[in-house]
Amino acid sequence: MMYRIGIAKFIASPAVLFDLLGCAEPTEAGSEPCRIRIGPDQFLDIHVFPTQFKYDLWAEINGKVICQTGQDVPEQRDENGVRFFDAEGFLRERLGCGNACRPEWYRRNEWEDLKSDTFFVGNWGMAQSFGIRGSFPAFYCFNLLFAPGALTLCDRNVHFLHWMFPSFTCKGTIPADEYRPLMEAALSSPHQLKISDIESRLPDLYMALPYPNNCLSFGTDHGTYQISLSTPFTLSISLPDGSKTFCEFNSLESLERFLQVTSKEELDILLQKMSILGLAEVRDE
C-alpha cells in the first residue's frame, strides 16, 4: 500500500505543503529504504516505491505562488548505495531561501506525524485538513492552496483559503469526507468571482462555516485578509509592507475596495473616505 507523507512541518521554509508520494511500509514488496535529509545531521528513514516516488509542493514567496504536483523526486544515493533525498537542500534551491529543521517536530518523528494532511490534489491546487493539537474544544482546519490563476476575486489572484471550526459543529462525519465535494469543485477548474458571487453563495458558506464566530482567511497578490461572514462584517487586513488594519462594514461591496489597496498610504486614505461616508469603521483588534 502506498502512502503520502508530509515533510513541510519538519522544515521551516516558505513551503506550506511538501508531500512525498509513493511511500511504503518497510515490509512492502518492491519497496526500498530511503533516507530523507531535513536538516544538518537530521534525517527521516522511510521506504519508497522507486518508480512512484514523487512530490507535491506549494509555497508562497514574495507574493508569488509555486505549485507543483506529481513531480519526480531526484534520485540520489549515499556512500552506502542507499537512496537519499536532501529535502532541505532541495527546498533551498527551488525556493531560493534558507531553511531550518523544526526540532519540535523532528524529536517526535512518529509515523502518525509523517502522514500528510493533504486529502485532495486537483488540476488547480491542493486541499488539506488537520486538527489543532491540545486545543479545547478541538478544532478542525482546512486549507485550499490554489495554483496560479485558479481563483480570482475581483480580478485579484487568490493564493489560498483557510478556515477552522470546533469539532462539536461536525455532523458526525470525518470533516475531510464531508467537504470533499466542495474541494473537488473548487480545484477542478479555474474560477473568476465577483462580490455578487460571494453574496449569492453566503447560504452555502454559512453551511460550510457552521461556527457563528468563525472567519474565512485568504491571501492574494497584495495582502492577507480575514473576514467574518456575518453582519456587521469584520475584516482584518495585512499588507506586504507590514501595515495592518481591523475594521467593520455592513456591505460586502466594501470588500472590493479593500482588495484594490496595495500600500498603507492607500489603505489610510480609503478608510478615511469610507469612514466619512459611514461605509466602514476602524476597530481595535
Q: What is the tens place of the pLDDT at every residue in 171-199?
A: 544 555 666 787 788 898 999 988 887 77
| Alpha helices per DSSP H over the chain | 87-95, 103-106, 111-114, 175-187, 195-200, 202-208, 253-259, 264-276
pLDDT at site 284? 64
Does residue 216 contact residue 233 with C-beta atoms inside 8 Å? no
| pTM of the predicted model as reported, rounded to 2 decimal places | 0.87
Give residue for cell 490554489: 146
Cell of 243: 501595515
Which has more pLDDT, 245 or 135? 245
Say yes or no to pLDDT of 22 above 60: yes
Say yes or no to pLDDT of 234 above 80: yes
Does residue 248 contact residue 281 with C-beta atoms inside 8 Å? yes
Mean pLDDT of 254-282: 90
Predicted confidence (pLDDT) per residue in 30-46, tens digit: 999 999 998 888 889 99
How big is the chain by its Cα radius of gyration, in Å? 21
Residue 193, amino acid: L
Which has more pLDDT, 199 or 56? 56
pLDDT at site 108? 52
